Amino acid sequence: MIDLDKQQYFSSSITDRTATESELKKFSGQLIESFPMPRYFQVHFEHVHSNVETMQKEIIQLRLYAVQLEEKLDKALDLLNSLTASEMSAG
């Protein structure tokens, strides 16, 4: 089947190939125009790069805060369980 596709491609006329190439050039020009200019990506990269350290520090702080909340929750649940157990034994 691959050989058939190659044969069809090579047997096509030169004008067909030229038309295809001109269509491709037109399409590629439109494609390039539809994307932002390289300066946009440079500014975006600089912004991301300059904020990475700050974001990493914030993530570390949030993780520590989550650990502290889990510890408090565990203590509160232990206290609730012990109060419930003492009420059941007294009642």
Number of independent structural domains in the chain: 1
Residue 2 falls within a domain, yes or no? no
34-77 pLDDT, tens per residue?
776 777 778 888 888 889 999 999 999 999 999 999 999 999 99
Residue 77 falls within a domain, yes or no? yes
Residue 59 falls within a domain, yes or no? yes
Residue 42 falls within a domain, yes or no? yes
* pTM score: 0.47
Structure tokens at 19: 């038309």
Residue 25 falls within a domain, yes or no? yes
Category of 13 on φ-ψ map: left (φ > 0), alpha (ψ -120 to 50) or beta: beta
Residue 43 falls within a domain, yes or no? yes
Residue 44 falls within a domain, yes or no? yes
Residue 1 falls within a domain, yes or no? no
Whole-number Å distance between alpha carbons of 71 and 76: 9
18-36 pLDDT, tens per residue?
557 777 777 777 777 777 6
